[in-house]
Amino acid sequence: MNQLQLKEQLKQFLIEDIGRGDRSVEAIFAPTDRDEGVFLLKEAGVVCGLWLAPMIYDLLGGDVTFTSLVAEGTQQSAGTAIAEVRGPIAALLTGERLILNLWQRMGGIATATKLAIDTLADPTTRVCDTRKTVPGLRELDKYAVTQGGGFNHRFGLDDGIMLKDNHIAYAGGITQAVEQVRRNTGHMIKIEVEIETLDQFKEAHDCGVDIIMLDNRTPAEIKQFLKYNKKQLTTEISGGVTPQNIRQYAGCGADYISLGYLTHSVTALDISFNSKSNGKI
């Protein structure tokens, strides 16, 4: 992750939140007022993004001592104190919401990823994400997936070639689309083709693509299609997989299963920040 780019992004997040100034803090506390606080996990989940807090405090002027109490990417129980801070009250309170917003979203993604892997219970199939992320948060969203034990799909359109239904329709078919790509692309770029029928699977297989995505297929259909994977091409399941039915895809034989819901339907992990004292330190 590009640290310079991330720092600039966090700076913009703070500018958005603070505006012309934190009126609540400025009306009560002097710059010299100090206190300490603790971040508490209010429900069980995977802790993610702890390292962002020191970067945010530094942007607010520094002089904050941040201590992680748990390891990044670990499952923790409700009520666990995950971090402590000590420093100017202004920095602690002004930075509170941005830190919680990022931690809660990232923790929710990491927790959902871990749950998907545990529910699938098939180490031969890797769980991965998609590009269905909030604009501006893709790197953090995808990082959170890895902390839950998952893997990343494409970060952007420049990562590889994926020929989906509309690419294929406009090109006139799978074979035509792949041939056109081969004419215009170097040998270092992988090609993935999305298919929905057995005939499409066979056509993509015979075209010599690198990856075949089985889109919105049932577990039974996937098993049937993979019988024709004579070249042992990499295969991916995508579409129609939910937390409720993911277990049904165990043992299908695909190499990957990509889950859009990990990042487009995030349930935030509940975390709170509380002062550790009733007075200033």
Residues 276, 65: Cα–Cα separation, whole Å: 14
Residue from 11, 23, 164, 227 carrying the catalytic annotation: 164
Q: State the Cα angle at 113 between 130 and 162, rounded to 5°.
A: 15
Q: Catalytic residue, from 22, 72, 84, 97: name it.
A: 97
Which residues fall within 8 angstroms of residue 263, CB to CB, at 6 or more apart? 109, 129, 130, 132, 133, 134, 141, 142, 145
Name the nearest CA neighbour of 147 among 192, 107, 207: 107
d(CA 201, CA 203): 5
Among 35, 122, 129, 194, the active-site one is 194
Active site residue 72: no
Any catalytic annotation for residue 132?
yes
Active site residue 276: no
Q: Select from 58, 52, 106, 63 the least CA-distant residue to 88.
A: 63
For residue 151, give every residue at least 6 positions away whose Cβ sits within 8 Å of its Cβ, in sequence order, or none: 126, 127, 128, 129, 145, 256
Q: Which of 86, 126, 132, 202 is catalytic?
A: 132
Q: Of 215, 221, 255, 270, which residue is the catalytic one? A: 215
Among 89, 91, 83, 99, smallest CA distance to 13 is for 99
CA 240/CA 221 separation, integer angstroms = 13
Residues marked active site are found at 97, 132, 164, 194, 215
